[in-house]
Amino acid sequence: MDIVTPFQFSLVYNAFSFTFAAMAAATAFLWLSRSQVAPAYRTAVTISGLVTAIAAYHYFRIFESWNAAYVLKGGVITATGFAFNDAYRYVDWLLTVPLLLIELVLVMRLSPEQTSSKTVRLGFAAALMIVLGYPGEIAIDIPTRALWGTLSSIPFVYIVWELFRGLGESIEQQPAAARDLVRRARLLTFASWGFYPIVYMAPYAGLTGANVTTVIQLGYTIADIVAKAGVGVLIFMISSRKSQAEGHVAGVHAA
Ligand SMILES: *C/C=C(C)/C=C/C=C(C)/C=C/C1=C(C)CCCC1(C)C
Protein backbone atom coordinates (compact mmCIF):
# COMPACT_ATOMS: atom_id res chain seq x y z
CA MET A 1 0.00 0.00 0.00
CA ASP A 2 1.20 3.52 -0.76
CA ILE A 3 2.38 5.44 2.25
CA VAL A 4 0.71 8.82 2.64
CA THR A 5 2.50 11.80 4.14
CA PRO A 6 1.52 12.89 7.68
CA PHE A 7 -0.30 15.86 6.09
CA GLN A 8 -2.26 13.64 3.69
CA PHE A 9 -3.07 11.25 6.51
CA SER A 10 -4.55 14.03 8.67
CA LEU A 11 -6.40 15.61 5.78
CA VAL A 12 -8.24 12.42 4.90
CA TYR A 13 -8.67 11.52 8.59
CA ASN A 14 -10.35 14.86 9.32
CA ALA A 15 -12.46 14.76 6.14
CA PHE A 16 -13.86 11.33 7.11
CA SER A 17 -14.49 12.45 10.67
CA PHE A 18 -16.25 15.65 9.54
CA THR A 19 -18.36 13.76 7.02
CA PHE A 20 -19.51 11.28 9.65
CA ALA A 21 -20.71 14.22 11.77
CA ALA A 22 -22.34 15.98 8.81
CA MET A 23 -24.23 12.84 7.72
CA ALA A 24 -25.39 12.12 11.28
CA ALA A 25 -26.56 15.73 11.72
CA ALA A 26 -28.42 15.67 8.40
CA THR A 27 -30.14 12.44 9.46
CA ALA A 28 -31.30 13.96 12.75
CA PHE A 29 -32.55 17.08 10.97
CA LEU A 30 -34.44 15.16 8.27
CA TRP A 31 -36.08 12.66 10.56
CA LEU A 32 -37.03 15.25 13.17
CA SER A 33 -38.51 17.64 10.60
CA ARG A 34 -40.48 14.98 8.82
CA SER A 35 -43.76 15.80 10.61
CA GLN A 36 -43.64 19.37 9.29
CA VAL A 37 -44.49 18.27 5.75
CA ALA A 38 -47.75 16.86 4.40
CA PRO A 39 -48.15 13.06 4.68
CA ALA A 40 -47.69 12.66 0.89
CA TYR A 41 -44.07 13.85 1.18
CA ARG A 42 -43.03 12.11 4.37
CA THR A 43 -41.67 9.03 2.63
CA ALA A 44 -39.39 11.22 0.49
CA VAL A 45 -38.04 12.95 3.62
CA THR A 46 -37.71 9.65 5.53
CA ILE A 47 -35.71 8.14 2.65
CA SER A 48 -33.48 11.22 2.47
CA GLY A 49 -32.66 10.66 6.14
CA LEU A 50 -32.11 6.96 5.51
CA VAL A 51 -29.53 7.82 2.85
CA THR A 52 -27.55 10.06 5.22
CA ALA A 53 -27.90 7.46 8.01
CA ILE A 54 -26.45 4.71 5.82
CA ALA A 55 -23.67 7.10 4.77
CA ALA A 56 -22.93 8.09 8.39
CA TYR A 57 -22.48 4.42 9.27
CA HIS A 58 -20.15 3.81 6.33
CA TYR A 59 -18.11 6.96 7.01
CA PHE A 60 -17.60 5.70 10.53
CA ARG A 61 -16.33 2.39 9.11
CA ILE A 62 -14.19 4.11 6.46
CA PHE A 63 -12.70 6.37 9.13
CA GLU A 64 -11.87 3.37 11.31
CA SER A 65 -10.35 1.54 8.36
CA TRP A 66 -8.17 4.55 7.44
CA ASN A 67 -7.06 4.87 11.02
CA ALA A 68 -6.19 1.18 11.19
CA ALA A 69 -4.19 1.23 7.95
CA TYR A 70 -1.53 3.68 9.10
CA VAL A 71 0.32 4.55 12.25
CA LEU A 72 1.77 7.98 12.89
CA LYS A 73 4.68 7.90 15.30
CA GLY A 74 7.29 10.59 15.81
CA GLY A 75 6.08 12.44 12.70
CA VAL A 76 6.58 9.36 10.52
CA ILE A 77 3.80 7.32 8.90
CA THR A 78 4.12 3.60 8.46
CA ALA A 79 1.64 1.07 7.08
CA THR A 80 0.26 -1.28 9.70
CA GLY A 81 -0.44 -4.06 7.19
CA PHE A 82 -4.21 -3.68 7.44
CA ALA A 83 -5.34 -2.56 3.99
CA PHE A 84 -7.61 0.47 3.76
CA ASN A 85 -10.97 -0.94 2.71
CA ASP A 86 -12.50 0.88 -0.26
CA ALA A 87 -15.38 -1.58 -0.48
CA TYR A 88 -17.34 0.27 2.23
CA ARG A 89 -17.77 3.14 -0.18
CA TYR A 90 -19.10 1.00 -2.99
CA VAL A 91 -21.45 -0.93 -0.71
CA ASP A 92 -22.67 2.43 0.55
CA TRP A 93 -23.28 3.67 -3.00
CA LEU A 94 -25.04 0.46 -3.98
CA LEU A 95 -27.61 1.19 -1.27
CA THR A 96 -27.74 4.99 -1.31
CA VAL A 97 -27.64 5.79 -5.04
CA PRO A 98 -30.93 4.01 -5.92
CA LEU A 99 -32.48 5.54 -2.76
CA LEU A 100 -31.38 9.04 -3.82
CA LEU A 101 -33.12 8.59 -7.16
CA ILE A 102 -36.22 7.29 -5.38
CA GLU A 103 -36.36 10.35 -3.10
CA LEU A 104 -36.16 12.62 -6.18
CA VAL A 105 -38.97 10.74 -7.92
CA LEU A 106 -41.14 10.63 -4.77
CA VAL A 107 -40.91 14.35 -4.11
CA MET A 108 -42.23 15.00 -7.62
CA ARG A 109 -45.44 13.16 -6.68
CA LEU A 110 -46.12 11.66 -10.10
CA SER A 111 -48.88 9.17 -10.90
CA PRO A 112 -48.41 5.76 -9.20
CA GLU A 113 -47.59 4.14 -12.58
CA GLN A 114 -44.97 6.75 -13.45
CA THR A 115 -43.51 6.58 -9.95
CA SER A 116 -43.02 2.83 -10.05
CA SER A 117 -41.71 2.64 -13.62
CA LYS A 118 -39.20 5.47 -13.07
CA THR A 119 -38.12 4.08 -9.71
CA VAL A 120 -37.48 0.62 -11.11
CA ARG A 121 -35.60 1.82 -14.21
CA LEU A 122 -33.50 4.43 -12.45
CA GLY A 123 -32.80 2.18 -9.47
CA PHE A 124 -31.65 -0.65 -11.71
CA ALA A 125 -29.43 1.63 -13.81
CA ALA A 126 -27.89 3.11 -10.65
CA ALA A 127 -27.04 -0.30 -9.20
CA LEU A 128 -25.55 -1.40 -12.52
CA MET A 129 -23.39 1.75 -12.67
CA ILE A 130 -21.91 1.07 -9.22
CA VAL A 131 -21.36 -2.66 -9.79
CA LEU A 132 -19.53 -1.97 -13.08
CA GLY A 133 -17.43 0.78 -11.52
CA TYR A 134 -16.02 -1.28 -8.66
CA PRO A 135 -13.65 -3.62 -10.58
CA GLY A 136 -12.13 -0.50 -12.16
CA GLU A 137 -11.77 1.28 -8.83
CA ILE A 138 -9.67 -1.52 -7.36
CA ALA A 139 -7.74 -2.25 -10.58
CA ILE A 140 -4.05 -1.40 -10.44
CA ASP A 141 -3.54 -0.62 -14.11
CA ILE A 142 -5.08 2.24 -16.09
CA PRO A 143 -6.48 0.22 -19.04
CA THR A 144 -8.56 -1.97 -16.68
CA ARG A 145 -9.71 1.11 -14.79
CA ALA A 146 -10.67 2.80 -18.06
CA LEU A 147 -12.54 -0.26 -19.36
CA TRP A 148 -14.81 -0.65 -16.31
CA GLY A 149 -15.16 3.11 -15.98
CA THR A 150 -16.42 3.30 -19.56
CA LEU A 151 -18.89 0.44 -19.02
CA SER A 152 -20.13 2.12 -15.84
CA SER A 153 -20.66 5.35 -17.77
CA ILE A 154 -23.34 3.75 -19.97
CA PRO A 155 -25.96 3.47 -17.17
CA PHE A 156 -24.66 6.83 -15.87
CA VAL A 157 -25.49 8.56 -19.15
CA TYR A 158 -28.90 6.91 -19.16
CA ILE A 159 -29.62 8.24 -15.64
CA VAL A 160 -28.55 11.77 -16.55
CA TRP A 161 -30.70 11.63 -19.68
CA GLU A 162 -33.68 10.37 -17.71
CA LEU A 163 -33.23 13.09 -15.07
CA PHE A 164 -33.11 15.83 -17.67
CA ARG A 165 -35.62 14.62 -20.23
CA GLY A 166 -38.02 12.40 -18.32
CA LEU A 167 -38.21 14.33 -15.09
CA GLY A 168 -37.95 17.60 -17.04
CA GLU A 169 -41.49 17.17 -18.34
CA SER A 170 -42.76 16.51 -14.82
CA ILE A 171 -41.10 19.67 -13.51
CA GLU A 172 -43.55 21.75 -15.53
CA GLN A 173 -46.39 20.07 -13.64
CA GLN A 174 -44.97 21.07 -10.22
CA PRO A 175 -46.60 23.92 -8.27
CA ALA A 176 -45.04 27.23 -9.31
CA ALA A 177 -43.72 27.86 -5.79
CA ALA A 178 -41.66 24.64 -5.83
CA ARG A 179 -40.57 24.51 -9.47
CA ASP A 180 -37.28 26.37 -9.00
CA LEU A 181 -36.34 24.28 -5.99
CA VAL A 182 -37.05 21.06 -7.90
CA ARG A 183 -34.87 22.33 -10.75
CA ARG A 184 -32.16 23.16 -8.23
CA ALA A 185 -32.33 19.68 -6.66
CA ARG A 186 -31.98 18.14 -10.11
CA LEU A 187 -29.06 20.42 -10.96
CA LEU A 188 -27.30 19.74 -7.65
CA THR A 189 -27.76 16.02 -8.27
CA PHE A 190 -26.40 16.34 -11.78
CA ALA A 191 -23.38 18.45 -10.73
CA SER A 192 -22.45 16.30 -7.75
CA TRP A 193 -22.93 13.01 -9.62
CA GLY A 194 -20.85 14.30 -12.51
CA PHE A 195 -18.02 14.90 -10.05
CA TYR A 196 -17.61 11.16 -9.26
CA PRO A 197 -16.41 10.04 -12.72
CA ILE A 198 -14.04 13.04 -12.79
CA VAL A 199 -12.51 11.99 -9.47
CA TYR A 200 -12.34 8.41 -10.77
CA MET A 201 -10.19 9.65 -13.65
CA ALA A 202 -7.53 11.16 -11.36
CA PRO A 203 -5.00 8.40 -12.19
CA TYR A 204 -5.42 9.13 -15.92
CA ALA A 205 -4.10 12.63 -15.23
CA GLY A 206 -0.79 11.16 -14.15
CA LEU A 207 -1.38 11.25 -10.41
CA THR A 208 0.16 8.25 -8.68
CA GLY A 209 0.68 6.58 -5.32
CA ALA A 210 -0.39 8.37 -2.18
CA ASN A 211 -1.36 11.50 -4.11
CA VAL A 212 -4.00 9.65 -6.07
CA THR A 213 -5.31 7.95 -2.93
CA THR A 214 -5.68 11.33 -1.21
CA VAL A 215 -7.34 13.06 -4.18
CA ILE A 216 -9.80 10.21 -4.72
CA GLN A 217 -10.77 9.97 -1.04
CA LEU A 218 -11.23 13.73 -0.66
CA GLY A 219 -13.05 14.06 -4.00
CA TYR A 220 -15.60 11.33 -3.28
CA THR A 221 -16.09 12.68 0.23
CA ILE A 222 -16.94 16.21 -0.97
CA ALA A 223 -19.28 14.82 -3.64
CA ASP A 224 -21.01 12.61 -1.03
CA ILE A 225 -21.74 15.57 1.27
CA VAL A 226 -23.34 17.54 -1.57
CA ALA A 227 -25.18 14.59 -3.16
CA LYS A 228 -26.58 13.18 0.09
CA ALA A 229 -26.84 15.85 2.81
CA GLY A 230 -27.19 18.81 0.41
CA VAL A 231 -29.79 17.18 -1.81
CA GLY A 232 -31.55 15.76 1.29
CA VAL A 233 -32.07 19.24 2.74
CA LEU A 234 -33.37 20.45 -0.64
CA ILE A 235 -35.82 17.53 -0.72
CA PHE A 236 -37.09 18.67 2.66
CA MET A 237 -37.43 22.27 1.40
CA ILE A 238 -39.33 21.16 -1.72
CA SER A 239 -41.60 18.97 0.41
CA SER A 240 -42.39 21.80 2.75
CA ARG A 241 -42.96 24.30 -0.10
CA LYS A 242 -45.29 21.87 -1.88
CA SER A 243 -47.09 21.04 1.37
CA GLN A 244 -47.82 24.75 1.86
CA ALA A 245 -48.93 25.16 -1.74
CA GLU A 246 -51.33 22.27 -1.21
CA GLY A 247 -52.80 23.82 1.94
CA HIS A 248 -50.94 21.83 4.60
CA VAL A 249 -50.16 23.83 7.75
CA ALA A 250 -46.95 22.74 9.45
CA GLY A 251 -47.40 21.53 13.00
CA VAL A 252 -51.18 21.23 12.73
CA HIS A 253 -52.67 17.80 12.32
CA ALA A 254 -55.17 17.34 9.55
CA ALA A 255 -58.68 18.11 10.74
C1 LIG B 1 -23.99 9.06 -2.50
C2 LIG B 1 -23.24 8.56 -3.58
C3 LIG B 1 -23.42 8.89 -4.89
C4 LIG B 1 -24.46 9.88 -5.33
C5 LIG B 1 -22.56 8.23 -5.83
C6 LIG B 1 -22.58 8.43 -7.16
C7 LIG B 1 -21.63 7.77 -7.95
C8 LIG B 1 -21.46 7.91 -9.31
C9 LIG B 1 -22.33 8.79 -10.13
C10 LIG B 1 -20.40 7.15 -9.90
C11 LIG B 1 -20.13 7.05 -11.21
C12 LIG B 1 -19.02 6.33 -11.85
C13 LIG B 1 -18.92 6.45 -13.23
C14 LIG B 1 -19.96 7.15 -14.05
C15 LIG B 1 -17.79 5.88 -14.00
C16 LIG B 1 -16.62 5.51 -13.15
C17 LIG B 1 -17.03 4.75 -11.95
C18 LIG B 1 -17.99 5.52 -11.05
C19 LIG B 1 -18.67 4.44 -10.21
C20 LIG B 1 -17.16 6.43 -10.14
Q: What is the pLDDT of residues 224-254, one digit of tens each?
A: 999 999 999 999 999 999 999 998 887 655 5
Give the DSSP letter of residue 5.
P
With respect to residue 199, please indicate whether it lies within any of the assigned structural domains.
yes
With respect to residue 253, please indicate whether it lies within any of the assigned structural domains.
no
- Nearest atom in ligand 1 to 51's CA: 1
The CATH number linked to 50 is 1.20.1070.10
Q: What is the pTM of this model?
A: 0.94
CA angle 173–230–155, rounded 5-degree value: 70
With respect to residue 164, please indicate whether it lies within any of the assigned structural domains.
yes
Q: CB of 51 within 8 A of CB of 102?
A: no
CB 197 less than 6 A from any atom of ligand 1: yes
Give CA–CA dist 174/155, Å, rounded: 27
Other beta carbons within 10 angstroms of residue 253's beta carbon come to 6
Domains of the chain: total = 1
Residue whose CA is at the smallest distance from ligand 1 atom 1: 224
With respect to residue 28, please indicate whether it lies within any of the assigned structural domains.
yes
With respect to residue 51, please indicate whether it lies within any of the assigned structural domains.
yes
Range of the domain at 211: 6-245
With respect to residue 77, please indicate whether it lies within any of the assigned structural domains.
yes
Q: Give the pLDDT confidence score for residue 253 in this predicted structure.
A: 56
With respect to residue 68, please indicate whether it lies within any of the assigned structural domains.
yes
Give CA–CA dist 96/171, Å, rounded: 23
Q: Is 84 helix (H, G, I), strand (E, B) or coil?
A: coil
- Residue 77 bridge partners (DSSP): 72
177 CA to centre of ligand 1 in angstroms:
31
Confidence of residue 168 (pLDDT cuts 50, 70, 90): confident
Report the amino acid identity of residue 201. Answer: M
With respect to residue 1, please indicate whether it lies within any of the assigned structural domains.
no
Confidence of residue 143 (pLDDT cuts 50, 70, 90): very high
